[in-house]
């Protein structure tokens, strides 16, 4: 079984407990979550949960269908890394003394394109945005200097697909209005 990295973009209603329902499915299938982010999507009231998991092609299809089966999940998209534009963000805290030696700062800015968020006599906080591999490369370089704290965010991603989620949602809502209209007509007929 060849394991690959997949990104699940899960659009859900904004209800309590959905993340729990999703993780139950992944746990039963023994799939570890590599990273996770949740935020409101471009559509008001719709949450977007982005999960990165490593599993097989066959398994990701099964799991995606099982997740989409959850009542409050609106739509699940499965992507491989080449189908999305994505970023991760990392923060590093180092002692100021360790950074001041040599041309470390110059190197950080020029070849890693980092941002300095806070500088005090005691410590410096650096922000790095990029793909995981870029962040790991920076981590490896900083490690000998002695990292005080390091944290990396979950992946955020937008897709390259043409049909956007809100178009899909519009179709759903139109179907709902059709239902209501029909009901309205039946009621009117009954009243006559």
Partner 1 sequence: MFDYNKTESMTERDFYEEKITEEITGGEALLRCLIEEGVDTIFGYPGGAIMPVYDKLLDYKEKIRHILTRHEQGAAHAAQAYAMVTGKPGVAFATSGPGATNLITGIANAYLDSVPVIFITAQVVSSLIGTDAFQETDIIGISMPVTKWNCQIKRPEDIPEMVAKAFYIATTGRPGPVLIDITKDAQTGKLPFKYKKCKFIRSYNPYKPLRKKEIESAAILINHAEKPLILAGHGVLISKAENELREFAEKTGIPVAVTLLGMSCFPTNHRLYAGMLGMHGNLAPNKLTNEADVIIAIGMRFDDRVTGNLKKYAPEARIIHIEIDEAEINKNVNVDIEINNDAREVLKYLIPLVNPNSHERWIREFRINDKIEYETVIRPEIKPEKGPIKMGEVVNVVSELTDGNAIVVTDVGQNQMSAARYYKFRIPNSFVTSGGMGTMGFGLPASVGAKVGKPNSQVIAFIGDGGFQMTIQELGTILHYNIPVKLIILNNFFLGMVRQWQDMFFHKRYASTELVNPDFITIASAYNIPGEKITEREQLAEAVKRMLNSEGPYLLEIHVEKEGTVLPMVEPGASVSEIKISK
Shortest distance, CB of residue 153 to partner 1, whole angstroms? 23
Looking at residues 124 to 183 of the shown chain, list those that interact with partner 1 (rule: CB under 8 A).
166, 169-170, 172-173, 175-177, 179-180, 183
Region near partner 1 per CB under 8 A, out of 39-47, 103-111, 126-134, 148-156: 39-47
Per-position x/- string for 1-20, each x denoting binding to partner 1 as judged by CB under 8 A, each - no binding: -----------xx---x--x
Coil/strand/helix, residue 109:
helix
Distances (CA, A) of 142 to 115, 128, 150, 188, 191: 15, 12, 10, 73, 77
Q: Which of 7, 73, 99, 142 binds partner 1 (CB under 8 A)?
A: 73
Kindly give, in sequence order, each residue whose CB lies less than 8 Å from that of residue 154, ignoring residues fewer than 6 positions away: 35, 36, 37, 50, 52, 88
Q: Which of 57, 72, 127, 143 binds partner 1 (CB under 8 A)?
A: 72
Give the Cβ contact number of residue 10 at 10 Å: 23
Q: Beginning with the edge strand found earlier in the chain, give each strand of the sheet holding 4-13 in spatial order.
A: 33-40, 46-55, 4-13, 73-80
- Is 21 a binder of partner 1 (CB under 8 A)? yes
Shortest distance, CB of residue 65 to partner 1, whole angstroms? 4
Q: Which CB, 12 or 88, lies closer to partner 1?
A: 12
Kindly give, in sequence order, each residue whose CB lies less than 8 Å from that of residue 94, ignoring residues fewer than 6 positions away: 123, 124, 126, 142, 145, 146, 147, 148
Q: Which of 3, 42, 117, 119 binds partner 1 (CB under 8 A)?
A: 42
Shortest distance, CB of residue 85 to partner 1, whole angstroms? 20
- Quote the CA–CA distance of 53 and 73 in Å, as a whole number: 18
- Quote the CA–CA distance of 123 and 132 in Å, as a whole number: 24
Q: Which of 66, 98, 153, 159 binds partner 1 (CB under 8 A)?
A: 66
Output DSSP code: residue 68: H
Where does this chain bind partner 1 (CB under 8 A)?
A: 12-13, 17, 20-21, 24, 28, 42-45, 61-62, 65-66, 68-69, 71-74, 166, 169-170, 172-173, 175-177, 179-180, 183-184, 187
């Amino acid at each position: 079984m060849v394991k690959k990295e997949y990104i699940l973009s899960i659009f859900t209603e904004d209800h309590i407990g959905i993340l729990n329902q999703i993780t139950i499915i992944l746990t039963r299938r023994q799939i570890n979550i590599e990273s996770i982010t949740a935020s409101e999507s471009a559509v008001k009231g719709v949450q977007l949960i982005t999960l990165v998991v490593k599993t097989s092609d066959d398994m990701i299809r099964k799991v995606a269908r099982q997740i989409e089966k959850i009542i409050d999940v609106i739509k699940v998209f499965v992507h491989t890394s080449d189908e999305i534009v994505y970023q991760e963000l990392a923060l590093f805290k180092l002692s100021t003394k360790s950074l001041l030696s040599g041309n470390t700062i110059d190197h950080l800015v020029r070849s890693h394109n980092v941002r300095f968020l806070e500088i005090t006599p005691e410590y410096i906080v650096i922000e790095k945005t990029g793909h995981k591999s870029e962040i790991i490369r920076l981590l490896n370089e900083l490690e000998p200097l002695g990292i005080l704290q390091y944290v990396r965010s979950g992946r955020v991603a937008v897709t390259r697909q043409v049909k956007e989620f809100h178009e899909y949602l519009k179709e759903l809502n139109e179907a709902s209005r059709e239902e209501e209209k029909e009901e309205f007509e039946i009621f009117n007929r009954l009243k006559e």
